[in-house]
Amino acid sequence: MILLFLAFFSLFLQTTLGNNVFPDDFLFGVSTSAYQIEGGWNANGKGESIWDVFSHNNPDKIIDNSTGDVAADSYHQFREDLANLIYLGVHFYRFSISWPRVLPTGFINHVNPDGVKYYSDIIDQLLSNKIEPMVTMYNWDLPAMLQELGGWTNPNIGSYFVDYADFLFSKFSHKVKYWITFNEPGEICETGYGLGLNAPGINMSGIADYLCGKTVLLSHSKVYRLYKSKYNNGKLGISISTPWYEPKNKNVKADVKAAERAMQMEFGWWAHPIFSRHGDYPDIMKDRIKNLSLANNFTGTRLPYFSKDEIKRIRGSADFLGLNHYTTYLVSPNDYNTNLTSHVKDVGVKKEIDPKWPASKARWLKVVPWGLEKLLIWIKNEYNNPCIYITENGYPDDGGLLDMDRVRYLAGYIKSMLKAMQESQVNVKGYAVWSLMDNWEWIDGFTLKFGLYQIDYDDCARIRKPKSSVNFYRDLIHVMEIPAICFEGAPVIPKIEHI
Ligand SMILES: *[C@@H]1O[C@H](CO)[C@@H](O)[C@H](O)[C@H]1NC(C)=O
Ligand SMILES: *[C@@H]1O[C@H](CO)[C@@H](O)[C@H](O)[C@H]1NC(C)=O
Ligand SMILES: *[C@@H]1O[C@H](CO)[C@@H](O)[C@H](O)[C@H]1NC(C)=O
Ligand SMILES: *[C@@H]1O[C@H](CO)[C@@H](O)[C@H](O)[C@H]1NC(C)=O
Ligand SMILES: *[C@@H]1O[C@H](CO)[C@@H](O)[C@H](O)[C@H]1NC(C)=O
């Protein structure tokens, strides 16, 4: 009788509130990356990465002159992190392996057993607590020695990456079922080799970023083909980051075209070669870069093309699309009246925000939940409904335990994702919050706090404390339903427990 009542009551809730229930097999998780949390930058045989070199040599390029030398000290405190993952009840934990911690020089002939043991222990402890490990192989920390050879602008680096990947598969593929080759190829190549803002700090936009992109896409496909032929006991994908590009004025044809061009030349640069029916770079990207190269007196295009065979091998080289998404821009055309060669000029758009959108601590991140639904539908239509895991989504603030703005952000974006799944049948299989804890946010140092758990960076003990968002996310995972507290107008009640 009571059961019957409960069944009717939950039916009543669902019809009055809309169906906010996730499928049983949907996976919720959290994401981190090695350099941003581990510390132990030179511990027990680890080699230097380009981020060690960059942060040590260019303190002026990091907003608070900090480094990731200690970061969240996860190298020594993974037990604390594990306890927090268990408390949250996440289905998976997405973390990255530091290449130079495992192979200090980058080359396969020198293995660091301590580094292998560190990750092996993490994987075993996750599994014994029924948390699936999702492993990113490259989250920006290239072994410094490989940068001496040109890093990702050198096509030969790909074979060293394949050696490294093969090593990881040989050690862990019987335990790890979710693999991601690269985290955010756009940021690796554009911000690292084009704008020079990130490590390795190469400022050669419109040239080095495209060389890097070709190596990264080819390396990704080689690792995928290796995995399928030699291991093939899980899923392997790539995590691509993109905002949603909305036309500034939907009634202006040029704005609609510019927004589509931004989608194709920023996101499609990476997604089109892998997920589209015909593969290769988007046509608009090839056309524009060729025209602008010739106009600038290059003898041919600055975009290095793939051979027919390479196009074939890259196409289809992923079991899923990892999607990192944070925000939206309003887009209109902009020719950038300059002779400078740059990727920004190649794309030829102006990106703005609507001043009405709620802000965050980061200049670049405004709160626009509906952008995620539009992005997911665009991906479904453009790439024939691929399997998607949202591998990063999150909100930066100044810190503090009462993080209601983060709760509202997450609730809004998660609802938008569920709407795309329910109303447009977008094939989203999982979602991860960026990030488990406050970390070292690259050139923003410790000034942006993305964590569900707080860390006081003035305290050497690096004690983790749960924020209100821990309660929110834990409840959501527990019931697999967006909690009623998150509906429009309802008060959000903070409760902080569990230390
Ligand atoms: C960072 O370092 C630069 C010089 O390298 C110095 O001018 C600046 O004051 C420092 N800033 C902080 C916040 O320490
Ligand atoms: C990159 O080069 C351009 C043009 O020389 C310059 O304006 C810009 O400040 C440089 N950026 C960095 C990060 O060095
Ligand atoms: C590139 O130039 C060709 C020849 O002038 C022109 O037909 C084409 O429309 C241009 N493409 C783009 C994307 O500007
Ligand atoms: C390209 O070369 C031509 C001929 O030498 C010259 O007139 C033109 O100004 C050059 N264009 C640029 C963008 O430098
Ligand atoms: C581009 O270069 C050409 C030739 O050098 C020059 O005439 C023109 O004024 C330059 N344009 C800009 C925007 O600098």
Residue recorded with tokens 């834990």: 474
The helix or strand, by DSSP H or E, that contains position 429, with its residue range, turns out to be: strand 428-434
CA distance 131 to 124: 10
DSSP 263: I
Ligand 1 in reach of 58 Cβ (< 6 A): no
pLDDT value at residue 5: 52
Residue 421: inside a domain: yes
Decide if 73 contacts 462 (C-beta within 8 A).
yes
Question: What pLDDT is stored for residue 7 in this prediction?
Answer: 52
d(CA 64, CA 407): 27
Does residue 382 carry a catalytic annotation? no
The string of pLDDT tens digits covering residues 341-373 is: 999 999 999 999 999 999 999 999 999 999 999
C-alpha 66 – ligand 1 centre gap (Å): 10
Q: At 181, which helix (H) or strand (E)?
A: strand 178-183
Please indicate, yes or no, if residue 15 is contained in any of the structural domains. Answer: no
288 touches ligand 3 (CB under 6 Å)? yes
Residue 461 is assigned to a structural domain of this protein: yes
What confidence score (pLDDT) does residue 346 get?
98
pTM summary value: 0.94
Beta-strand relationship, 349-352 and 388-392 = unpaired
Residue from 48, 80, 132, 184 carrying the catalytic annotation = 184
Domain assignment of residue 10, yes or no: no
pLDDT score, position 15: 45
Contact 29, 431 (CB under 8 A): yes
Question: Could you count the other beta carbons within 10 Å of the beta carbon of residue 483?
Answer: 18
pLDDT at 16: 43
Asked, for residue 3, whether it belongs to a domain, the answer is no
Atom of ligand 3 nearest to the CA of 291: 1
Q: Which residues of the chain have pLDDT under 70?
A: 1-18, 485-499
Which protein residue's CA is at the shortest distance from atom 2 of ligand 3? 291
In this structure, are strands 244-247 and 328-333 parallel, antiparallel, or unpaired? Answer: parallel
Angle at the Cα of 406 from the Cα atoms of 266 and 475, rounded to 5 degrees = 115
- Burial label for 396, CB within 10 Å (0-12, 13-18, 19+), is buried
Give the closest residue (by CA) to ligand 5 atom 2.
339
- Alpha carbons 45 and 38: distance in angstroms, whole number: 14
Distance CA 35, CA 139 (A): 8
DSSP H or E segment with residue 53: helix 50-57
pLDDT in tens, 158-207: 999 999 999 999 999 999 999 999 999 999 999 999 999 999 999 999 99
Residue of minimum CA distance from atom 10 in ligand 2: 203
Distance CA 195, CA 362 (A): 19
Q: Give the number of other Cβ atoms within 10 Å of residue 298's Cβ.
A: 15
The answer to whether position 316 is within a domain reads yes
Strand stretches in 283-364, DSSP E: 320-324, 328-333, 349-352
- Residue found under tokens 């810190």: 399
Question: What confidence score (pLDDT) does residue 486 get?
Answer: 60
For 68, the token pair is: 């990731």
Q: Are 224 and 318 within 8 A, CB to CB?
A: yes
Euclidean distance between CA atoms 330 and 310, whole angstroms: 35
Question: Is residue 497 annotated as a catalytic residue, yes or no?
Answer: no
CATH of the domain at 352: 3.20.20.80
Instruction: State residue 13's pLDDT score.
Output: 47
CA atoms within 13 A on the CB side of 86: 14
State in Å, rounded, how far the first CA of the chain is from the last one.
Answer: 39
Reference 394, options 451, 334, 336, 457; nearest CA is: 451
Domains held by the chain: number = 1
- CA geometry: angle 98, 267, 310, nearest 5 deg: 75
What is the residue type of 164?
Answer: Y
423 half-sphere exposure, CB direction, 13 A CA radius: 13
Q: Could you tell me if residue 2 is inside a domain? A: no
Q: What is the pLDDT of residue 339?
A: 85
CA of 203 to the centre of ligand 2 (A): 6
pLDDT at position 487: 55
Do the domain assignments include residue 454? yes
Domain containing residue 280: 24-486
